[in-house]
Chain A
Amino acid sequence: MNEAGERGAAPTIRLDALTKFYGPNRGVEDLTLEVGAGEVLGFLGPNGAGKTTALRLLMGLLRPTSGSAEVMGFDTMRESVEVRRRVGYLPGDPALYGNRNGNELLKLAMRTREIDRAPLAERLIETLNAPMERDIRKCSRGMRQKVALVLALGHDPEVLVLDEPTTGLDPLGQRAMLSFLRERAEAGRTVLLSSHMLSEVEQVCERVAILREGKLRRVDTVEALREEKFRQVTVDFDGDAPSFEGAGEYEVISQEAQRMVVRVRGDARELLSVLAAAQVTDVSIMEPSLEEVFLDFYRDGDSR
Chain B
Amino acid sequence: MRALVIDLLGRSWFALGWWMVGLLAMGAYVVAIYGSLSGTDELADLWDLYPASIQELIGDVNIGTIDGWIHLEFMSWIPLVLGMYGGIFAAGNISREAETRTADFVLGLPVSRIEFMASRLVVGVFNIGAICGGAFVLLVVQVPLMGYDVSPDRYALALANAFLLGAALFCGYAFIASFIDEQARVIGIAIGGTLVTYIATAALRAASTPDVVRWLSPFEHYRAADAMSGRAIEPGSPVVLAVAGVIAGAAALYWYNQRDLAA
Contacts and interface: CB of A to CB of B under 8 A. Distances in A.
B208 to A, nearest CB: 47
Interface in B1-51: 3-4, 6-7, 11
A109 B11 CA distance: 15
Given A95-B100, A97-B102, A63 B258 contact: yes
Interface string A85-99: 101011111111101
Contacts of B7: 108, 111
A62 B105 contact: no
Given A52-B263, A63-B260, A109 B104 contact: no
Contacts of A100: 11
Given A61-B104, A95-B104, A112-B3, A84 B262 contact: no
Contacts of B6: 111
B112 A81 contact: yes
A77 B260 CA distance: 11
A108 B111 contact: no
Chain A: number of interface residues, binned into ranges: 35 or more
A151 interface: yes
A91 B107 CA distance: 10
Nearest to A85: B110
B108 interface: yes
A22 B109 contact: no
A254 to B, nearest CB: 41
Contacts, number: 75
A90 B101 CA distance: 12
B112 A95 contact: no
Contacts of B239: none
A109 B7 CA distance: 11
A91 B101 contact: yes
B110 A81 contact: yes
Given A62-B262, A108-B7, A95 B111 contact: no
B105 A91 contact: yes
B196 interface: no
A174 interface: no
A112 B112 CA distance: 11
A299 to B, nearest CB: 27
Nearest to B263: A52
A151 B112 CA distance: 18
Given A95-B101, A95-B102, A112 B11 contact: no
- Chain B contact surface mostly: loop
B261 interface: yes
Contact of B104 (A94, A108, A111): A94
A109 B109 contact: yes
A7 interface: no
A56 B263 contact: yes
A92 B263 contact: yes
A71 interface: no
A94 B11 CA distance: 20
Interface in B104-133: 104-105, 107-113
B107 A59 contact: yes
A150 to B, nearest CB: 12
B111 A94 contact: no
B260 A62 contact: yes
A95 B96 CA distance: 11
A84 to B, nearest CB: 4
A60 B111 CA distance: 11
A56 B107 CA distance: 11
A80 B112 CA distance: 7
Interface string A111-125: 111000000000000
Contacts of B104: 61, 91, 94-95
Interface in B207-263: 258-263
A151 B110 contact: no
Given A63-B258, A91-B105, A95-B105, A112 B263 contact: no
Contacts of B102: 95-97
Interface of A: 22, 52-53, 56, 59-63, 80-82, 84-85, 87, 89-97, 99-100, 105, 108-109, 111-113, 148, 151-152
Given A108-B109, A148-B105, 6 more contacts: A22-B260, A56-B262, A61-B261, A82-B110, A95-B104, A100-B11
14 contacts: A52-B263, A60-B107, A61-B260, A63-B259, A80-B112, A84-B107, A84-B109, A84-B111, A91-B108, A95-B101, A96-B105, A108-B109, A112-B110, A152-B108
Q: Give 5 closest A-B pairs by Cβ, nearest first.
A: A111-B3, A89-B108, A95-B101, A85-B110, A112-B109
